[in-house]
Structure 1
Amino acid sequence: MLSGFKKFLLRGNVLELAVAVIIGAAFNSIVQSLVKDVFTPLLAAVGGQPHFENLEIKVGASAIRYGVFLNAVISFLIVAAVVYFFIITPYERLTARFSTPEETSLRECPECLSEIPKAAVRCSHCTAQIAPMTEPKSASS
């Protein structure tokens, strides 16, 4: 029972996930500091407030602190932009470079333009007789 648990913990996916969570937490603190200490003071200066976090609306005895919410929104947008531009986009480029185009097993009927199997000699849609498709010969033949 413990050996199975040990194998689970030492499996690559668990370790990679643990590292990702730790790096993500560290990155989150950097982004929070960037938003709280750089961006929001600049935005607060435009609004005439000393701190962006102090922006609030009084409703009766309650205060709606929308400045804190805006900090969270800005942090989310920064994290989302970093993930998209530095992880998703390069990954898509890399996978597109190394992927091979899928060869289709279909072709178009010259009579009715419907899709039929490459090996077909008669169209199943219009019943037209079609010349069999020959495979191109390789250059080494």
Structure 2
Amino acid sequence: MSGFKKFLFRGNLVELAVAVVVGAAFSGLVKAFVDSFIGPLIALVGGEPDFSELAFTINGTKFPYGIFVTALISFLIVAAVVYFLVVLPVAKVLERLIKAEEATERACPHCLSDIPIKATRCKFCTTELVPAPST
């Protein structure tokens, strides 16, 4: 029983559970956005993207491939919305934050160890160095 308790309260499991709950809530938010804004825009331009009536029959067995096509189009729309409205903006913000962080170390040209930028001697290989140009 104690092993089960350790499993349940292990940090990774709790983080995973929180991620699943937040992911499900975010999924609902994205779906509502697509249904409320993106879907009507697509319907306005090209008609309702619903192909669920498409099917073919072989030996009396119906294959409703339109359901798959509709789900595929829906997936692509949701993926595009997530990419352009979440992934790209977050990546740009992170890029700006990384650029804003000033580098405090550089690689020694002789031993490739990380040393302070203003160092004149490497603390690992003791080679004398030219101070890095200030930017």
Tell me the alpha carbon deviations over residues 65-122 of structure 1, each in whole angstroms, 9 at most, x when there is no partner: 3343221101112223313423x44445445555744421225xxxxxxxxxx759xx
Using the alignment, how far apart are the partners of 2:39 and 2:17 within structure 1?
31
Relative to structure 1, is the Cα distance of residues 133 and 68 closer, same or farther in structure 2, using a 3 angstrom cutoff?
same
Relative to structure 1, is the Cα distance of residues 33 and 134 closer, same or farther in structure 2, using a 3 angstrom cutoff?
closer
The runs of 5 or more residues in structure 1 that have no matched partner are: 108-117, 121-131, 137-141
1:1-141 mapped onto 2 (5 Å cutoff): 2-47=1-46, 49=47, 51-52=48-49, 54-55=50-51, 58=54, 60-61=56-57, 64-65=65-66, 66-81=69-84, 82-86=86-90, 88-94=91-97, 97=100, 100-107=103-110, 133=128
Between the aligned residues of both structures, percent identity stands at 33
Q: SS state of the match for residue 103, structure 1? A: strand
Q: Which runs of 4+ in 1 moved over 3 A?
A: 55-64, 88-102
Aligned Cα RMSD in Å?
3.4
The runs of 5 or more residues in structure 2 that have no matched partner are: 58-62, 111-121
Q: SS state of the match for residue 106, structure 1? A: coil
Q: How many residues align?
A: 110
TM norm structure 2: 0.57
Deviation at 1:19, TM superposition (A): 0.9
Using the alignment, how far apart are the partners of 1:106 and 1:28 within structure 2?
49
TM norm structure 1: 0.55
